[in-house]
Amino acid sequence: MAHDPDCIFCKIIDGDIPSFKVFEDEKTLTFMDISPVNPGHVLVIPKYHAPDLMQIPTDWLMATVATAQTVAQAVDKALKPDGINILQSNGPAAGQSVFHLHVHIIPRTAGDKLAFDWGIAPGDMDAIGAVAERIRASVV
Ligand code: 5GP
Ligand code: ZN
């Protein structure tokens, strides 16, 4: 399984960096974004180090997309947002800052005027942990 010891998301997979995990299976891990743009912002990653969508083997991508659906259903059930964005960036010019493929799941509220400027400052860890528990309990 591809792994990069210097990658922050590989370190989260290994448990070397803490995270609020909400779902895990053989090929994927889902955890709360450390700088949520909205409450309930989660990241889905493959347990396979590939920098982006173009470079990941298709079976790992399919596993990641399937988990994104499972977790989006949990977010929808737990938080009842008005909408959900699924977003995935490839390359710095596209806004990618962590080079281990990841899918953002972002709950939306009508009129929230969200600008995609995440990664600026860490969020409130108590609030992030509390919403992680609600989503975790809604995974079916
Ligand atoms: P990108 O801009 O690459 O699409 O998104 C990277 C995301 O990873 C950002 O939303 C950022 O907040 C998140 N992130 C970066 N470092 C960490 C970390 O150590 N832990 C967690 N949970 N999220 C992180
Ligand atoms: Zn990695």
3 state SS for 10-37: HHHHHCCCCCCEEEECCCEEEEECCCCC
- Dump pLDDT digits (tens) for 28-37: 999 999 999 9
Specify whether the CB–CB gap between 18 and 34 falls below 8 A: no
Pocket test for ligand 1, best of 7, 98, 120 (most atoms within 8 A of CB): 98
3-state secondary structure of 93: helix
What is 8-138's CATH topology? HIT family, subunit A (3.30.428)
Predicted pLDDT of residue 127: 95
Residue 135 has φ and ψ, to the nearest 5°, of -70, -45
Catalytic residues: 102
Q: What is the mean pLDDT of residues 19-41?
A: 97
Predicted pLDDT of residue 13: 98
Q: Domain limits of the chain?
A: 8-138
How many CA atoms lie within 13 Å of 28's alpha carbon, on the beta-carbon side?
24
pLDDT at residue 95 greater than cutoff 60: yes
